[in-house]
Structure 1
Amino acid sequence: MAFGGLTMNVTMEKFGYPATLVAEFDHWVVLARAAQPTLGSLVLAAKSEVTAFGELPAAAHAELKQATSAIEAALGKAVGYARLNYLMLMMVDPNVHFHVIPRYEGSREWQGREFVDCGWPKVPDLGHAVALEGEDLAALVSWLKGFF
């Protein structure tokens, strides 16, 4: 499906593209997750239709350096994470993507809401998340864009 000259795959659409778009690269988009297990949780999604990481073009692999560096700098400023987890789960959503989960001890507060890292210091608890929608999700997207 084409959107503004960009081919949108079903995984991008599932995670709210274009409304959740925080940053864009030639081969990747960075989207805010509506379900925030920790503050600043993102999806790094390939623009490609491929469903296997190894099938991405070499240029997409090379561009991961730029995308991950931008994510790490932005989330470092926004959230002050202790670790950053990149999870490539791809069990339900078929196109290549990572869930990017900032990890920290305790909690972070944003707009009067508390975001606790319930899994710290072990694996992230994706089932425990602050669900944002509508104006709240739009505010998160706008806030995160300011760090990119």
Structure 2
Amino acid sequence: MNATIHRFGYPATLIAEHDHWVVLLRPDQPTLGSLVLAAKSDVTAFSALPPAAFAELASVIAEIEAALGHAVDYARINYLMLMMVDPHVHFHVLPRYDGTRTAGDLVIADAGWPKAPALGDAVTLDPAQTTALVAWLKSCWR
């Protein structure tokens, strides 16, 4: 796994793994169920990924959208490819909704709705919350 994947808490945050991609729980949650979709490759340009990674991306996105739809009943979903601090190819996947969503003892509002996501208003998870949310989201996966 590349440094970007480790920076987002791998392996503790791992929800799903594929040949070319991993799905991780985002340690800072601007909306409940926020994820990181990261390429396992060491490349730092989206265009440099192998064709097989692009082919696999369609099924990974379908899994993400189905699981997050079940988990948080999002109204929209944002895929942000920021790659400023963490250089390897990855997306921040943010389910968007009006109001709040709850999982266990966490209640998280989408502070930016209906405009751009409010990344600065994210809830930073502690280790117990991370473990609980990873288990919860895994249970929503097909």
Question: TM-score per shorter chain, which class?
Answer: over 0.9
Q: Deviations over 1:48-94 (max 9, x none)?
A: 00000000000001111010000000000000000000000000001
Q: Which secondary structure does the structure 1 equivalent of 2:77 belong to?
A: strand
Structure with greater proportional helix content: 2
Cα drift, residue 113 of structure 1: 2.2
- Give the share of equivalent positions with the same residue, in percent: 65
Equivalence for 1:52: 45
Deviation for aligned residue 1:109: 1.5
Listed as ranges, the matches of 1:63-102 within 5 Å are 63-102=56-95
Match in the other structure for 2:111:
118
Provide the aligned C-alpha RMSD in A.
Answer: 0.6
> Who is 2:100 aligned against?
107
Partners of 1:113 and 1:134 lie apart in 2 by: 13
Provide the rounded CA distance (Å) in 1 between the counterparts of 2:136 and 2:21. 20
Give TM-score scaled by structure 2 length: 0.97
Task: State the shift of 1:147 in Å.
Answer: 1.1
2-structure distance, mates of 1:23, 1:147: 11
Which stretches in structure 1 are left out of the alignment for 5+ residues? 1-7
For structure 2, list consecutive stretches of 5 or more residues without a partner in the other structure: none
1:3 aligns with none
Query: 1:112 Cα deviation (Å)?
Result: 2.3
| Runs of 4+, deviation exceeding 3 Å | none
SS at match of 1:95: coil
